[in-house]
Chains A and B, each alone.
Chain A
């Protein structure tokens, strides 16, 4: 039977709402961070290897694409962290009311912005 399956329900059948968008973002940032671990391992190996490997890696990181990836990594990381804490609270049995779900959802978004701004202020000023 050709039933529409989960991800394809979205544009046509489901209305976007904060809770579902945050849930999808948790997955997407999780996948992005998993892919990012390749770059992290690459960077660690480059530091250990030194020489030309590090020079090339460093050139890539400080390029516009590299900086964009680094910034994206930080946003994904802080979002997944805050959203993950929200998930852990659910696992512990807290915050299931719809009103709480919205409240904590907005809190996660605010905390993500705050942590990202703080982290980059720390990077740029220190």
Chain B
């Protein structure tokens, strides 16, 4: 009985290192949460913040999206002067920027959840996630610059 404890401890350590090796290059939330469950470290990741961001941007995008879609479908085929005049006025400029930011934040979380499901190698997942985030930042920056240029230059 006296040496049963150290024995089971070393077994647990070996199991953990085997588990870690087996999962080191795989993805999915469950890997990390399994390791954490082994170590009793509580929740696996900070997914709640992303979950909240997804729902909050979704709520914001209901009115923003309806407004933007209605305006956009008409403007898309219009001439440059009409489109520029619309984007240069304060309310459309503000709502366009808010729509683009909310949509891109929503897209980053959404695309990440798709990637997590279908990209099964950690290195590829990290690369794809970085690519999505970089693209979102570039698109957000370009869109904001474009709207600000029109708004400030009117």
Q: Which residues of A line the B interface, CB within 8 A?
A: 6-7, 27, 30-31, 33-34, 37-38, 40-41, 43-45, 47-50, 54, 58, 61-62, 67, 70, 74, 77-78, 81, 84-85, 87-88, 91, 119-120, 122-123, 126
Q: Among the listed B61, B77, B110, B143, which residue makes an inter-chain contact with A41, where contact means beta carbons less than 8 Å apart?
A: B143
Tell me if B69 and A77 are in contact (CB < 8 A). yes
Tell me if B142 and A44 are in contact (CB < 8 A). yes
Minimum CB distance partner of B82 in chain A: A47
Tell me if B110 and A34 are in contact (CB < 8 A). yes
Complex Cα distance, B103 from A7, in Å, reads 26
Q: Which residues of A contact B107 (CB under 8 A)?
A: 30, 33-34, 37
**How many contacts A-B (CB < 8 Å)?**
98
Tell me if A45 and B62 are in contact (CB < 8 A). no
Chain B contact-residue range equals: 35 or more
Tell me if B100 and A41 are in contact (CB < 8 A). yes
Q: Which residues of B contact A6 (CB under 8 A)?
A: 117-118
Question: Contacts A37-B107, A44-B146, A48-B145: A54 and B77 contacting too (C-beta < 8 A)?
Answer: no
Question: Contacts A30-B110, A41-B100, A122-B74: A47 and B69 contacting too (C-beta < 8 A)?
Answer: no
Q: Which residues of B line the A interface, CB within 8 A?
A: 55, 58-59, 61-62, 65-66, 69-70, 72-74, 76-77, 79-80, 83-84, 87, 96, 100, 103-104, 107, 110-111, 114, 117-118, 135, 139, 142-143, 145-147, 149-150
Complex Cα distance, B79 from A50, in Å, reads 10
Q: Among the listed A48, A49, A67, A85, which residue makes an inter-chain contact with B62, where contact means beta carbons less than 8 Å apart?
A: A85
Tell me if B111 and A44 are in contact (CB < 8 A). no
Within the complex, the shortest CB–CB distance from B109 to chain A, in Å, comes to 10
Tell me if A62 and B65 are in contact (CB < 8 A). no
Q: Which residues of B contact A91 (CB under 8 A)?
A: 55
Count chain B CB atoms within 10 A of each CB in A34, A38, A123 and give the residue with the most.
A34
Within the complex, the shortest CB–CB distance from B55 to chain A, in Å, comes to 6
Question: Contacts A7-B118, A34-B107: A45 and B146 contacting too (C-beta < 8 A)?
Answer: yes
Complex Cα distance, B149 from A37, in Å, reads 19
Tell me if B55 and A126 are in contact (CB < 8 A). no
Q: Which residues of B contact A123 (CB under 8 A)?
A: 73-74
Tell me if A122 and B70 are in contact (CB < 8 A). yes
